Structure 1
Amino acid sequence: MSKEGGHPGDNPHAEFPISEATQPEGDAHYDARSRTREVLGSFFSRLGRKVYLACELPVDYPGEPMFAPDVIAVVDVEPHSRMRWTVSAEGKGVDLALEVHVAGERRKDLERNVERYARLGIREYFVFDLGRLRLNGWRLVEGLRAYRPILPQRGTYHSDVLDLELQVGEEQLRFYKGGAALPNAQEVIARLERLVGQREASCAELQQQLVEEARLRAEESQRREDAERRLAEALAELERLRGGKH
């Protein structure tokens, strides 16, 4: 869930106290948001699409208290490392915010953030309730600073910002493109291990085939040598018998 600090100033620690920015919420919260960033980052990197992604990065809108959603996405910007997202310096605001709710007050994520993020013009906002394994999404009404709920289609929520489908599955938030799930790091590793195993098995099978072919060629060569030897012996015997008739 989002963390809030004071108004901007010269001292970043005064703006956004460390105690506010890093409230511990356990491994489940950390894993969910870091997995989201990793999966999306890997996907957009493969596409060559410029999307900046960050977890709990301080976000600074002019005249607003600084806050830090669990995950933010900003499209069409350079995805280099940043200490904060300052709207006045970057020239644009956040396109998508996602909060992972694990414990505590739900009203902050499901009510107050809905009003605030809409007012700031954040195009889409999603809340993944990890405890209840539920997903909610909102999108700005065109021309207004107000959200309209995103209605799921067969359990999936479409994100215009990401051009992906979101769905809760396997007790985690999953992302889909064209009906195929975007793999996380563990799944990519498992897939590569399977490919390596299949390649090693294929190499071993090919090696066995080469050994067998070499054995068959050696046996065929030996049979030809034996046949040629027996023929030579027969011819020599025939010649000897012919010589004995004189």
Structure 2
Amino acid sequence: MVLRLPDDYRIDPEDPRAPLQETWDSMSPEQRARVVAMLPSEFTLEAAPPPEGDTHTKAATGARFTLDAFFRRIGRRIYISSNLAVYYPGERYFAPDVLAVRDVEPHDREKWVVSTEGRGLDLAIEVHVLGSRQKDEIENVERYARLGIEEYFYFDRRRRILQGYRLPSAREGSVARPCVYRPIVPQEGRFSSEVLGLDIMLEGDRLRFLHGSDVVLEADELITRLGAALNEALASKEDAERRAQAEADRAQAEADRAQAEADRAALLEKDLAEARAELDRLRRAKDPPG
């Protein structure tokens, strides 16, 4: 049986969009599941943003893996992904270089459909390397704020510029324009992220995340540090084993010396007993009983 979708919903392969919220609400669970399955997670070259090469990929995936590994180590429930298709109701899809959503299960996903997940993104990071900066530097500032994404960071890797934006909270007075970002003012080059609970800064031409005064290690740095710690532990283990073996050898040598002394004493005792017996025999032979 083929489930019919509402007449006011169609998927345009050139511009796939999730249904408007009122259309979604009118669907059955089976229809919703069909819609989610139909929404693409990969796109044609015409629909997808132009590729920007390894420099862009390393910056984006490096940030994603650094954050994901850090939150898994500390046991915090926060979903981190990179270049994941995101569908807001009725909106053209987009795929941030890095995205974060707090307090959700960090399991693998093929796409983020807001109506299915029950919430939108909390943070987006875009990395610019080639092409026009218009989308990341201007258009996304308006669009992400309108969609209610709490924080947005823009990293121009070539110019080594980092900018951060945050939606005003209710206590800051945002009744008139609730969907307009305010710039995050850096402190000593560090931009605070309330979503991540970390600071973000530039170190040369790469993003760095800081937890208090500690730098969150990237994968290669963590591997190097863990490798050094493992080598140190192995060296300490081998040194301890050498000392233990030397001590065992010394103990064995002492035991061997003690055994030799005991054997020598036993031999002397035997010789003494034999000498006494011979002396008694000689005495008896010299003075036979009368």
The TM-score with structure 1 as length reference comes to 0.85
Q: CA deviation at 1:234?
A: 6.0
Q: 2:140 aligns with which of 113, 118, 137?
A: 113
Matched, 1:54 2:63: no
What's the offset of the Cα at 1:243? 4.1
* Unmatched segments (≥5 aa) in structure 1: none
CA distance in 1, matches of 2:252, 2:93: 79
- CA distance in structure 2 between the aligned counterparts of 1:230 and 1:170, rounded to whole angstroms: 77
What residue number does 1:92 align with?
119
Q: Secondary structure at the residue paired with 2:17?
A: coil
* Counterpart for residue 134 of structure 1: 161
Report the counterpart of residue 235 of structure 2 in structure 1: 201
Cα drift, residue 24 of structure 1? 1.5
The one-letter code matched in structure 1 to 2:66 is: V
Deviation >6 Å, runs of 4+: none
CA distance in 1, matches of 2:205, 2:273: 88
One-letter amino acid of the structure 1 residue matched with residue 208 of structure 2: R
User: What is the CA-CA distance between 1:233 and the residue it aligns to?
Assistant: 6.1
How far residue 160 of structure 1 moved from its aligned partner, in angstroms, is 0.5
- Letter aligned with residue 97 of structure 2: D
RMSD: 2.7
| Deviates most, 176-185 or 94-103 | 176-185
Amino acid in structure 1 at the alignment position of 2:234: E
- Greater fraction strand: 1
Which structure is higher in RCO with an 8 Å CA cutoff and minimum separation 6?
A: 1
Q: Where in structure 2 are there 5+ consecutive unaligned residues?
A: 1-13, 19-34, 284-290
Q: Which has the larger radius of gyration?
A: 2
The answer to whether 1:42 aligns with 2:69 is yes
CA-CA distance at 1:33 after TM superposition: 1.0
Query: What SS does structure 1 have at the residue aligned with 2:207?
Result: strand
1:18 equivalent in structure 2: 44
The Cα offsets for residues 93-149 of structure 1, whole Å up to 9 and x where unpaired, read as 111110001112223211221111111111100011111222110111223111111
What amino acid does structure 2 have at the position aligned with 1:118?
A: A
Residue 199 (structure 2) pairs with residue 165 (structure 1): yes
Q: How many residues align?
A: 241
Counterpart for residue 32 of structure 1: 59
Identity of aligned residues (%): 41
1:223 is matched with which residue? 257
